[in-house]
Chains A and B, each alone.
Chain A
Amino acid sequence: GAGVSQSPSNKVTEKGKDVELRCDPISGHTALYWYRQSLGQGLEFLIYFQGNSAPDKSGLPSDRFSAERTGGSVSTLTIQRTQQEDSAVYLCASRAFYGGVYEQYFGPGTRLTVT
């Protein structure tokens, strides 16, 4: 079946503009994660959604970052008033939420460049 998809694949924006990044998880996966991958760095956890529970926002770097998940499926990561340090690849992953299953499936990412 289809994997995790993300759009756009690339986004160039001017400093100070808002951007929205979209993630379509694997159908049936109730757990969804956003990570940020800066150049030469590992993946940094941003936010986690599980079903109808309140999201775990502990990784969001500032209040300019927010995310929502509508209908338990598609998720949107929004960055307001973008800064140059926001330039990175933003990765989304989904996971089936039942006992003994841990694997996270990643999308191809959105490369964000803030000029």
Chain B
Amino acid sequence: GENVEQHPSTLSVQEGDSAVIKCTYSDSASNYFPWYKQELGKGPQLIIDIRSNVGEKKDQRIAVTLNKTAKHFSLHITETQPEDSAVYFCAATTRESTDYKLSFGAGTTVTVRA
């Protein structure tokens, strides 16, 4: 099955700086890579995703890059704000199946210092 590794496990950044989280995956058939943000006491919420036919996707201060050859993908948050503090999870699945069971990384706890 798919194995997703995520680094770092914790990340502390100064407000206004950038944050980068990296994930690797093992199954070359995986082709859909979502990122979730989980705030305290809440369920994970999708913030951005990328599919294997693109290498980069941006949405305001958030961007995700994908390197299929190396089997890794990254989340970039620019101009971090206190509300970006949360746990972030990467995930992977293959769209060829119809179940889209997600394999998750272990999560990164991001703390933005004011």
Q: State whether these chains interact.
A: yes
Binding site for B on A (CB under 8 A): 4, 31, 33, 35, 40-45, 48, 50, 56, 59, 91, 93, 95, 97, 102-109
Chain B residues near A44: list those with CB within 8 A.
104
Chain B interfacial residues counted at CB < 8 A = 27
**A106's contact among B9, B45, B49, B103, by CB below 8 Å, is which?**
B45
* Binding stretch for chain A, among B12-20, B72-80, B93-101: B93-101
Chain A residues near B45: list those with CB within 8 A.
106
Are the C-beta atoms of A43 and B104 separated by less than 8 Å? Answer: yes
**B34's contact among A35, A91, A103, by CB below 8 Å, is which?**
A103
Are the C-beta atoms of B44 and A91 separated by less than 8 Å? Answer: yes
A-contacting residues, B81-107, CB 8 Å: 89, 91, 93, 95, 98-107
Chain A residues near B91: list those with CB within 8 A.
43
Q: Once bound together, how far apart are the Cα atoms of A35 and B44, in whole Å?
A: 11
Are the C-beta atoms of A45 and B49 separated by less than 8 Å? Answer: no
